[in-house]
Amino acid sequence: MNYSDLIIIGAGPGGYRAAAYASEKGLSVTVIEASEVGGTCLNCGCIPTKSLCHDAETGKRNFADIMTRKDEVVASLRSGVETILSAPGISLVRGRARFVNDNCVCVGEECFSAKDIIIATGSRAKMPPIKGIDSPRIVTSTEMLALKELPARLCIIGAGVIGLEFASCFSAFGSEVTVIEFMKECLPTMDSEIAKRLRKSLEKRGITFHMQSGVESIEERECAVVNFTKKGKAMQVEADLILVATGRLANTDGLNLEATSINVGRGGITVDPDTFEAAPHIYAIGDVNGRQMLAHAATYQGLRAVNHILGKKDNIRLDIMPAAVFSQPEAASVGFTEEQLKAEVQEDSGEKQYSCHKALFRANGKALATEASEGIVKIITASDGRIIGAHILGSHAADMIQEIAALMNCDVTLSQLRDIVHIHPTLAEMLTEVS
Active-site residue list: 424
SS3 at position 418: helix
- Between 161-173 and 192-204, two packed helices, what is the crossing angle to 10 degrees? 20
What count of Cα atoms within 13 Å lies in the side-chain half-sphere of residue 411?
Answer: 1
Distance of CA 344 to the CA centre of its chain: 26
Distance CA 30, CA 88 (A): 11
Distance CA 292, CA 283 (A): 15
DSSP state of 45: S
Distance CA 155, CA 218 (A): 11
Rg (CA), the chain: 23
Distance CA 355, CA 139 (A): 43
Which helix (H) or strand (E) element contains residue 237? Answer: strand 233-239
Distance CA 318, CA 341 (A): 19
Closest CA to 142 of 40, 223, 234, 266: 40
Give 430's contacts (C-beta < 8 A, 6+ positions apart). 359, 361, 364, 377, 400
Order of strands, sheet of 387-393, starting from the edge strand that comes earlier in the sequence: 323-325, 331-335, 387-393, 376-382, 354-360
CB atoms within 10 A of CB 3: 11
